[in-house]
Amino acid sequence: MPSRLIFRCDHCGLRAEGETERALEAQLQEFLFGEYLDVEPGHWLHWTGNGIYGRARYACAEHRGELKASLRESYGTLGWHPWAMGPHPVQYRRGRVAARRALGPGRTSRWSPLA
C-alpha cells in the first residue's frame, strides 16, 4: 500500500512542501542522535531526537527559536545536544545512504557470510 510522509511544524502545524519535504525525507535515512539540522530551502529546523532525547521534532522558519527553547527546557540537563549553537548544516557522514552506495546493488553487508 502506498504511503507518504507528512512533515508539520510542531508549533503551528504548517506543512513542509516541495524541496523542503524531500530534504526532510532524505534525513530520515541517517543515523543521528540528538542533533539539530537546518533544512533548506524552507529554513526549517529538524531535531533528530532518539534515545533519551525523545522523538524527532520539526519547526518552520518562524518557530525555530520556540523549538530550541522547549527542547532545552525538556532535555537540557541530560547532555550538551540541546544546547548546540547554529548554524546546523546537514552532513551526510555516517548514514545508511553512503553505506548503501559503497556496498553496491544487492549487497547488505561486507561482513555477511552470504555476501
Q: What is the DSSP string of 9-46?
A: -TTT-PBP-THHHHHHHHHTTS--SS-EEEETTTTEEE
Mean pLDDT of 33-56: 93
Give yes or no for residue 57 having a pLDDT over 60.
Answer: yes
Q: pTM (2 decimals)?
A: 0.76
Higher pLDDT, 110 or 69: 69
Residue 37 CA: distances (Å) to CA of 2, 21, 33, 58: 28, 14, 11, 10
Give yes or no for residue 113 having a pLDDT over 80.
Answer: no
For 57, the enclosing helix (H) or strand (E) is strand 57-59
Give yes or no for residue 44 having a pLDDT over 50.
Answer: yes
CA 90 to CA 21: how far, in whole Å?
15
pLDDT digits (tens, 9 = 90+) for 71-106: 999 999 999 999 999 888 877 655 555 666 666 666
Q: What is residue 28's predicted lDDT score, i.e. its pLDDT?
A: 85
Each domain of the chain, given as residue ranges in start order, spans 19-103
pLDDT digits (tens, 9 = 90+) for 23-34: 999 888 888 889
Amino acid in the structure at residue 13? G
